[in-house]
Amino acid sequence: MRPWYVLHTRPRQEQALALRLEARNVEAYAPLYASGDKLPALVLPRYIFCRTRDDETDIQAIRDVPGLVSVLAQGGAYAQVSDTFVQQIKSFINALEQNAVIEQYAEDRIPDQKLREQLAALVSSRSVTKRNAVLFELLQRITR
């Protein structure tokens, strides 16, 4: 399975960048969370995940896509996250939208308690700064 990369976007360009990437054969995911009657909101403003769909498309090929600020790097290389991590974010958000009890959902699917707490903070915090801090903490943890 191809790794996911974390992209830093220009303000309010997450969805537009995702569409532009899809046009270049790059899978993109901008986590959205819909709570109650509210419109879906970005979980991580100014950040999206992407991965290439084939061997011909290199992550370097997307550097000129309008709306992209940078590809997050760590230790001189692009930071990669696993498909499992992205799927956990997707399923966690889905469970919250279905009004699942976080503890019941998470214990079955995410045995690591600290990761469950971080995912809950990532989705539920009202503070964009806190959500981004949690993202970076998670990235440091999973890219070591």
- Which structural domains are found in the chain, ordered by start? 4-142 (3.30.70.940)
pLDDT at 97 over 60: yes
Span 54-69, pLDDT tens digits: 766 788 888 899 999 9
How high is the mean pLDDT of the chain? 81
Beta carbons of 14 and 31 less than 8 angstroms apart: no
User: Helix, strand, or coil here: 99?
Assistant: coil
Output the pLDDT for position 80. 87
Helix runs in the chain, H state only: 14-23, 83-97, 102-109, 113-124, 128-142
Between CA 103 and CA 107 the distance in angstroms is 6
Instruction: Output b/e per residue, 42-70; b: 16+ Cβ within 10 A.
Output: bbbebbbbbbbeeeebebeebeebebbee
Asked if 62 contacts 24 with a C-beta cutoff of 8 angstroms, the reply is yes
Q: Is it the case that residue 143 has pLDDT exceeding 60? A: no
